Structure 1
Amino acid sequence: MTKRWTLRGAQTEYTVAVPAHGRWLELVAWGPHGVSDGPSPVGYDGPVPFLTKGDAAPVEYATETERPFAGADLVVEARSSLRFVSAAAADDRLAVTFADPVNGLRAVLQYRIPAGTDVVERWVELVNEGPDPLRLARAGSAGFCVPTPHGARISYQWGQWAQEFQLAHVDLAHGTFAVGSAQGVPGHLYVPWLAVNDQEDPAGVWGVGLAWTGSWKIQAERDTGGLTRVRVGRGLVDGPLDLAPGERLTLPTAAGAYSADGLGGLARVWHAYQRHLAGERLTPRPVLYNSWEATYFAVDADSQLALARVAAGIGVETFVVDDGWFTGRGDDTGGLGDWTPDPAKFPAGFDAFVADVRALGLRFGLWVEPECVNPRSRLYAEHPDWVYSVDGQPLTQVRNQYLLDLGRPEVAEFVHGTVDGLLRKHAIDYLKWDFNRPRTEPGRPGATGPVDLDGAHVANLWRIYERLRRDHPHVIIEACAGGGARTDLGMAARADVFWPSDNTGPLDRLAIQHGFLHANAPHLLSSWVTDAPGLFDPRPRSLAFRFVLAMAGVLGIGADIRRWSAQERAEAARWIARYKEIREIVMHGTVHLIGGPGQARCAVQYLSPDERTAVVLAWHTGRLDGAGLLPSRPVRLPLRGLRPQARYGTGDQHYSGSHLTTAGLPVQWTAAHDADVIVLHRD
């Protein structure tokens, strides 16, 4: 007899069942409410020549015994075969237990759909109840099955430093597509995010993400029967995991999402989920100024206060001193690990400097990189064994620094004590936590036997973040990793803001933010107005363009504002004031992505939760040399989510909702007008 359960989200449902044979849990249907009322769109009960039934079935989680040829989620070196034991179900939770009667492995498949979302969280709890150790060669978190009868289209995000979050697509008729990271961090190269749709149905799209801040892998494989199965989980870069008798292992949470409204709709599902993860910390993010691009390492009290005075005058709310404030930090070859304010740079004392900044009406923020150490530092001289290393092998420097082994309890305590001490000693409201190198050495001096370095580092990193949030709830934490190398659902639940890229050039950043918003909510998007040209597209754009771009998330400024003219400062003050008027809608509104950086139409629409106000940020991305000289009609931006019969106004202009969604909002670009913010109110 088949056992069956359905979890219901806000607009979707997820139905699974244990077949009569009890060898696995399989998907019945996943999609909008009611999709499971009928034959399963992924079920298969036909012949399987040269394969097994499990290889073709829509299995949710399988060992190598159940899927020996098509790919398993869990591989135990001594092989394991699970059998259904029991299940416990509630409205939004499901736990299905399987066990191996031979080796004593127990696997509890956990499911949860958080209230008000359409994301199904999945994770597995493994327990060794047998007498012997078990070695796990693969320990994935989940397998997601998607019906793709006409071929699969895979959407993913690739990148590199300064070119993160580049949205791309590949058609997969048959075979495998995989992305991941072996760097001990999610990395710049790919994002732990994937979307799948049938090639003939771009509207119905399924997405997968992973809450893991270490090495990872996502693999999509389309079989000959038209099913695409997405396996997601940790990348075991340190070798197999050993599970001792009586030991328990909880694998990272994998998240699945569905939308019937294409990639834009899927983005909105992820946004709602990440707002749920933020919980009570989803408060307005302050307009900040960061000193990095103005002074780099040449930090001193006088230069920082000069910047702070201008920042306060144009409406900035938080002033962040970036790298260069601590002892030994004249460049990137020294200082990391010795987290003491440099008395030569702050001759009146660091606290006096902070007080001067706060006296301007600004909150104060600070940059740190506590997981790394320079060879030329006191910390490394005292604790050379605290860095990842392999006995007898030379160490690899990246950015003139080594990586601390955060999995060691004494190192984790040092890192937490360092950051906690700074927050307790100084009046700090904002923390930019950076991480500028991946792990290269797969070893720990003095370790006996294999060590899960990746797992230990992530576990302690998360614990430190959680302790800091508990003890310093007023402090906003920005997660940075040489730009956007540390963005995943695990960090989205613990950090308040992400720094998506070190590239702040306007057209480059527009492409980065376009991809970012497909996977992340606006409250996580930190963006600066700077003077930097693009690395990949250096075409100039106006100050207005740069401000409208940075207003798409959390507005920041990183330019050398001491050099701005009075006219530029006045314009900046107007944009900042305007941002403060709309940031609640940017933070909480429903996001619609219109066009993109490579298209004539490029805009982001934010619809307020009460649906009475639409905020449109729009940019001209094409050539400007012929604008206003040749015949042309205004660019039309088709808005979404408006009531067709209602009227919406901005200034003296009014439109029907039908006009705005069908004909589109008209914008006319000129050489002097290449971006705009339009706020429409419903009458």
Structure 2
Amino acid sequence: MKARQGVTRRELLQAGAVLAAGVVCGPSRLADADQHETWSIGNALIRRDVAYAPGVGLYTTQIADLAAGTNLLGAVSDARALAAEFSLICDGQECRSNGGVFQLVDTREDSGEGKRTRAVRLRHIKLPLEVRAVYSVYDGHAAIRKHLVLKNTGTAPLKITHLQIDNLAFALGPENEMTLLAQYGAVPREIFYTGRSEDAGLMLANGRTGAGVTVLNEAPGYMKRTEVAGWDAPDSVRVSAMYDTDLMPFERRLAPGEELTTASASLIPFRRGDAFNDPRWRVPGYTAAVLERRVDQGGPPWIYNTWEPFERGINQQISMDLIEAAGAMGMDVFTIDDGWQQEYGDNAVNLAAFPGGLDPILKAVESRGMRLGLWIPPAAIGMTTEVYKAHPEWASRDIDGNVKTTGTMAGQKVVMCMASRFCMSAAERINDAIERFRLAYAKLDLTTIFNAYGEAPGCWAKGHDHADWAESLHRIYEGIREMTSAVYAKHPDVLLDLTFELWGQKHIIDAGLLAAGDLDWMSNVDDRHPDAAGPLQARQLLYARAASMPVEAMLIGNMHAELPTIQESFATAIGSAPLLLGDLRKLSAADRAWYGEKIRWFKELRKSVKLSDSFFPLGSWRQTSPAAWDGFARLARSGEGVVAVFRNKSGVAGARVELPLIPEGRYRVRVVISGKVLGTFDRSAWARGVDVPFAGPAEVLEMKRA
């Protein structure tokens, strides 16, 4: 590949000085081959080759998709054509991995528990800064994951900005053959693109050959930025997984001796239509196994939540009636949402609503084979709480120095800064609730750093663990993770749900959130009446994110168990982490028994069949519509699993389900809702399409090998 000799104005504008320097300012030639040190990190499916040359630095020479027989990078003969392996600005000085400013210290390889890592440690020749580039691979997954560890080896603080985790020029074909799917890998976009908070996964591919790569930028929330420069070179597309530099700028100070472990970036190559090399197999299997803390091991629990329709009106008698119904349905966790507590930020029980405290509730829940869950706001608390009265200095402040508040269903509450020692106080409160009420699940909710409804982000207070507003943005995300880590240290089996309001944006889910928690209450879909947005819009949220995020981490509220039909509610719930709300008292005994039978079936299926191996959206999935059918398939690598299809208001008699990537074999298909056997079909039949008749609003198929 011929090296380009210049840089365009577009590159300067889109990527700033660091990226521009990465193209223009490299040495004029590579060091002699015998001066290079090279390493490979990989497994039977993938390999990444990394080299270090004196006077040049660290760079990647090739990424090979061994299973698909594809090389992702072009041949390199000149250092000016190399992408910087990482880059950052430290105390105002740009530091590129291949800028001739880093010396090799050592390398180390480790392995264990299905994972191998290679760490390459570099030292800056002038600044008191060490950088370890850490590459990881996982058994059975065609993916390379990378993060950095920065260390201040000096005696004065260092300021880090403009931090790039990974930066590669993918050579998958000419510009006019390249395609990009952005926003979780589901929305077609132009190949000159800036990905931000919703771009947790980008899929770059050659539209003719199908060869491509998924890039998962694991920076949390608003801190992520992924640059795609697809119009600047005739035969490569530069993709940079980085922290934001402008709207929500990353800024981090390192105290003497302090280390900072960055977010990771995962690269998952693929080839569309090529059996298990297709991204609908590769990406879900990887994200479930690697990004989720423990949900994938046994599958997510079935959770009932009281929020709708009861909201803060929930009380002991209503809860007792709901517990009876939820137990009959086979739910695993019974969650009391807002209203159980006397005040936000305190674990004292609201005795007006629960005169016996939560002990009678806990006994009733556990007697029916369930566990208790509670709604807990970590950072939005009342001014009457002991923690606020003792430490008002921990409160977030706005640009004018005023204490920040946020609107809640219980009125205005103070927003405490998670980039202060308050984060450990919040952890202690959550641990106390877990121990006192034997919780299996905690829904951690409300504003921390950003408000999903428009209030200004960050903290301007003095004396917290951030030097200024910009640093507070990332530090608050760090504080959330510090809080959850303290909870997991004492209660490793608890499931922590970090809601979209806590993470700060409507419908958001990303790998940064899953690095801090187990589940994500991703949305509050209106489902209060038969013509509400309901399951149709819940599935839109699911389909738009399932390409790059693990579906069993997604709690999609607020589907009511009794609306619009129990068949559609159940069939939608099994597409993600199953969550139901609603007034269960309205369900007849027959409906409760129906749920109980179907939920027991699904639990048994999930135990024996690894549904997280894939996700295939079907029908009108890209834009769910009342005028067309939609659906999904969740299959294990054996080909066994579940298919759900939804008629909506289309009036069609049936859906033709095509699964051309199902493994070879014959599959006996049973219609779960009716219990009837649809037939036995082989791979060729699924490639042509199997007709599934609609007897009602939704049909669920069980796929088992014949």
Do both proteins adopt the same fold according to a TM-score greater than 0.5, normalized to the shorter chain?
yes
Give the aligned partner of residue 162 of structure 1: none
Correspondence 1:13 to 2:47:
yes
The question of whether the paired residues in 1 share the 8 Å contact of 2:669 and 2:701 is answered with no
Q: Tell me by how many angstroms 1:514 deviates.
A: 0.8
- Post-superposition CA distance 1:575-602 (Å, at most 9, x none): 3233223233575442241434237563
SS where residue 25 of structure 1 aligns? strand
Letter in 2 for 1:383: H
Q: CA 1:26/1:284 → structure 2, altered by over 3 Å: closer, same or farther? A: closer
Letter in 2 for 1:23: G
Sequence identity of aligned pairs in percent?
18
Q: Tell me by how many angstroms 1:10 deviates.
A: 4.8
Give the aligned partner of residue 491 of structure 1: 513
The question of whether the paired residues in 1 share the 8 Å contact of 2:641 and 2:703 is answered with yes
Q: Tell me by how many angstroms 1:381 deviates.
A: 4.7
Correspondence 1:95 to 2:115:
no
Letter in 1 for 2:193: F
Once the two structures are superposed, the pairs formed by residues 583-662 of structure 1 within 5 Å of their partners are: 583-584=606-607, 588-595=611-618, 596-597=620-621, 598=623, 602-608=630-636, 611=638, 613-621=640-648, 623-624=650-651, 627-628=652-653, 634-644=654-664, 646=666, 648-650=668-670, 651-662=676-687
The question of whether the paired residues in 2 share the 8 Å contact of 1:154 and 1:194 is answered with yes
Any gaps of 5 or more consecutive residues in structure 2? 1-32, 451-456, 527-533, 671-675
Structure 2 CA distance, aligned partners of 1:356 and 1:134? 55
Q: 2:381 aligns with which of 356, 373, 379?
A: 373
Q: Tell me by how many angstroms 1:443 deviates.
A: 1.6
Structure 1 CA distance, aligned partners of 2:557 and 2:465? 47
Q: CA 1:211/1:618 → structure 2, altered by over 3 Å: closer, same or farther? A: same
Give the aligned partner of residue 488 of structure 2: 469
Give the aligned partner of residue 242 of structure 2: 233
Moved more, 299-308 or 498-507: 498-507
Once the two structures are superposed, the pairs formed by residues 69-80 of structure 1 within 5 Å of their partners are: 73-74=88-89, 76-80=91-95
SS where residue 396 of structure 2 aligns? coil
Letter in 2 for 1:608: A
Q: 1:515 aligns with which of 509, 527, 544?
A: 544
Q: Tell me by how many angstroms 1:571 deviates.
A: 3.7
TM-score by length of 1: 0.82
Give the aligned partner of residue 405 of structure 1: 417
Structure 1 CA distance, aligned partners of 2:301 and 2:158? 50
- Post-superposition CA distance 1:341-389 (Å, at most 9, x none): 1111111222233223323332211111112224575654553322211
Q: CA 1:166/1:573 → structure 2, altered by over 3 Å: closer, same or farther? A: farther
Correspondence 1:147 to 2:162:
no
Once the two structures are superposed, the pairs formed by residues 30-429 of structure 1 within 5 Å of their partners are: 30-33=64-67, 41-45=73-77, 54=80, 56-62=81-87, 73-74=88-89, 76-80=91-95, 81=99, 82-88=101-107, 90=109, 92-129=116-153, 134-151=158-175, 152-157=178-183, 167-172=186-191, 176-181=192-197, 190-212=198-220, 215-222=223-230, 223-235=232-244, 237=248, 240-244=251-255, 246-261=257-272, 265=279, 268-278=282-292, 282-327=297-342, 335-374=343-382, 379-390=387-398, 392-399=400-407, 400-409=412-421, 411-429=422-440
Give the aligned partner of residue 27 of structure 2: none
Give the aligned partner of residue 578 of structure 1: 601
The question of whether the paired residues in 2 share the 8 Å contact of 1:153 and 1:171 is answered with yes
Moved more, 509-518 or 648-657: 648-657
Q: Tell me by how many angstroms 1:264 deviates.
A: 5.8
The question of whether the paired residues in 2 share the 8 Å contact of 1:480 and 1:500 is answered with yes
Structure 2 CA distance, aligned partners of 1:612 and 1:224? 41
Structure 2 CA distance, aligned partners of 1:319 and 1:532? 14
TM-score by length of 2: 0.79
- Post-superposition CA distance 1:329-348 (Å, at most 9, x none): xxxxxx32233111111112
Structure 2 CA distance, aligned partners of 1:550 and 1:14? 39
The question of whether the paired residues in 1 share the 8 Å contact of 2:314 and 2:353 is answered with yes
- Post-superposition CA distance 1:255-280 (Å, at most 9, x none): 22222237962563343343234466
Any gaps of 5 or more consecutive residues in structure 1? 47-52, 63-72, 158-164, 182-189, 328-334, 534-539, 629-633
The question of whether the paired residues in 2 share the 8 Å contact of 1:192 and 1:209 is answered with yes
Q: CA 1:303/1:680 → structure 2, altered by over 3 Å: closer, same or farther? A: same
- Post-superposition CA distance 1:200-244 (Å, at most 9, x none): 344433322315366222222222233222222333646643345
Structure 1 CA distance, aligned partners of 2:286 and 2:446? 28
SS where residue 464 of structure 1 aligns? helix
Give the aligned partner of residue 12 of structure 2: none
SS where residue 305 of structure 1 aligns? helix
Moved more, 100-109 or 446-455: 446-455
The question of whether the paired residues in 2 share the 8 Å contact of 1:27 and 1:59 is answered with no
Q: Tell me by how many angstroms 1:478 deviates.
A: 2.1
Correspondence 1:664 to 2:689:
yes
SS where residue 308 of structure 2 aligns? helix
The question of whether the paired residues in 1 share the 8 Å contact of 2:522 and 2:555 is answered with yes
- Post-superposition CA distance 1:118-154 (Å, at most 9, x none): 2212112223445765433312222133224333422
SS where residue 130 of structure 2 aligns? strand
Q: CA 1:205/1:661 → structure 2, altered by over 3 Å: closer, same or farther? A: farther
Structure 2 CA distance, aligned partners of 1:647 and 1:135? 59
The question of whether the paired residues in 1 share the 8 Å contact of 2:287 and 2:548 is answered with no
Moved more, 297-306 or 594-603: 594-603
Q: CA 1:649/1:124 → structure 2, altered by over 3 Å: closer, same or farther? A: closer
Letter in 2 for 1:311: A
Give the aligned partner of residue 479 of structure 2: 460
Moved more, 245-254 or 557-566: 245-254
Size of the aligned set, in residue pairs, is 622
Q: Tell me by how many angstroms 1:295 deviates.
A: 0.6
Q: 1:23 aligns with which of 23, 37, 57?
A: 57
Letter in 2 for 1:442: C
SS where residue 154 of structure 1 aligns? strand
Q: Tell me by how many angstroms 1:441 deviates.
A: 4.1
Q: Tell me by how many angstroms 1:442 deviates.
A: 3.0
- Post-superposition CA distance 1:629-662 (Å, at most 9, x none): xxxxx43212255454535343544334233332
- Post-superposition CA distance 1:317-336 (Å, at most 9, x none): 32110111111xxxxxxx32
Letter in 2 for 1:657: D
Q: Tell me by how many angstroms 1:485 deviates.
A: 5.4
Q: CA 1:36/1:197 → structure 2, altered by over 3 Å: closer, same or farther? A: closer
Supply the RMSD in Å over aligned alpha carbons: 3.3
The question of whether the paired residues in 2 share the 8 Å contact of 1:125 and 1:249 is answered with yes
Letter in 2 for 1:209: N
Structure 1 CA distance, aligned partners of 2:68 and 2:604? 41
Structure 2 CA distance, aligned partners of 1:33 and 1:6? 16
Q: Tell me by how many angstroms 1:84 deviates.
A: 4.1
Give the aligned partner of residue 5 of structure 2: none
Structure 2 CA distance, aligned partners of 1:446 and 1:583? 49
